[in-house]
Amino acid sequence: MSLMAAALVSFSASATDFQLIGGFNSWNTLDETSKFTDKGDGTYVLEYKGIVASGFKIKSWGKEWDDTENYGAPTADAVLKVGESLTLLNGQGSKNINTEGGVSLTNPKFTFNPTALTLLVEAGTAEAVISYDIWGNLDGGEDWASTKLTETDGVWSASNVEVKEGANFGIRELSDGSQSNWFAATSAVTISETTTVDMKVDGTNLKIEAGTYDFSFNPSELKLAITKVSGGGGDEPIIPDPEYKDLYLVGAQFGWDFASTEAYKFERNENVYTITVDAGMVGGATEKNWKIWDGTWDYNFGCGEEQPVAGVEYETWFDGGNFTFSTEPNVKTTITFTLVKGSDEKNSSIPSKLLIDVPNSVENIEAVEEGTVRYFNLQGVEVSEPANGVFVRVANGKATKVVK
């Protein structure tokens, strides 16, 4: 084989094929009709027979979405104009390519240059028919499906929609029946009653509890109004009783494996767990954090956003973060953990309760004179110049927690 022939074989073996992918072909990664042809001059051409709705990307053929060859618009407001070259962005930060005015492209010819990162389209255009639907697993199953929304005066609605436990969803914008945009909540939310949710493009999927609901989506205001009609066909979701397992303290102080934590087992009285640690608690650094568990990482409890303070009851969460609470060395610390109904289910939004009681803690601080301000650490020791930590500020007969 000649050197030139060998070079051609090597190039052919390493060359990348590309495809157009979007709502027009249901984001099918193996759609042969949307595959580009290598022209041999650094460009790839696709002459598509049919209609391509706004909202698509270019990706390497036969590869997963997390590969680096994922070409789209550089920003959400960049638009593709017929007859004009659009500069693309390669990578996971790229956005869907939308057409100017949201028009659909008729029998388009796409010319793509992956080196120059440009895309040129020549096509006829037609004003797209825009509609919206709910897309999710409202039946609580694994498969997602469409729930039709009907338009009245610019608002898209559906009535008496039955929702099962475990449902997630968002709102699809459809151009000529193909998904051109995805709207979801601006932040994580679980719907359980009548409410209005702020929506945004590519937001966070909404969770919703079982029940029967009316939905009204206003795309111009990006608001989704949800009215609860009844509770799940008359049946409220059943929250199971806690599963009362043996629980232990785990962490750098106690060991991170089951064998080493056997000495730190809680005593249980129904749903209330109690343990006293004679040596006190050591935390505050990443390697010294601790949690409550049953010996498996599939069943454990930790803190939410706020770290616990002695003498105060706090919420803990299934599969939550590590605790970093500390006491003075060798100060007995009693930990009382109450397992609340429903809080033993993974990803549960129902918090359990934790009380950390330390003798001589901040709750035993003596009152000070009117107008005097004093600071104490979490073990009740007065601090003259509090810095870099959590303290209790006592003034005018009131104690408040502060962070310095």
d(CA 148, CA 121): 32
pTM above 0.75, yes or no: no
Quickly tell me which residue has 């680096």 as its tokens. 68
Length of the chain in residues, anyone?
404
Asked if residues 56 and 36 have their Cβ atoms less than 8 Å apart, the reply is no
Task: Say what the pLDDT of residue 284 is.
Answer: 63
Cα end-to-end span (Å), the chain:
75
Give the residue, 332 or 173, on which the prediction is more confident. Answer: 173
Kindly state the average pLDDT of the residues 289-312: 76
pLDDT surpassing 80 at residue 66: no
Q: Poorest-confidence range of 20-24, 79-83, 400-404? A: 400-404
Local structure of 5: helix, strand or coil: helix
Cβ partners under 8 Å of residue 288, min gap 6: 251, 252, 253, 282, 324
Local structure of 59: helix, strand or coil: strand
Nearest to 102 by CA among 53, 147, 141: 53
Task: Say what the pLDDT of residue 308 is.
Answer: 62
Copy the structure tokens of residue 372.
């005097």
For 217-242, the pLDDT digits (tens) are: 999 999 999 999 987 544 455 666 77
pLDDT surpassing 50 at residue 43: yes
d(CA 39, CA 54): 25
pLDDT surpassing 60 at residue 3: no
d(CA 209, CA 228): 10
Task: Say what the pLDDT of residue 369 is.
Answer: 52
Q: Poorest-confidence range of 152-161, 279-288, 381-390? A: 279-288
For 189-208, the pLDDT digits (tens) are: 999 999 999 999 888 999 99
Q: Which helix (H) or strand (E) holds 315?
A: strand 313-318
Task: Say what the pLDDT of residue 28 is.
Answer: 85
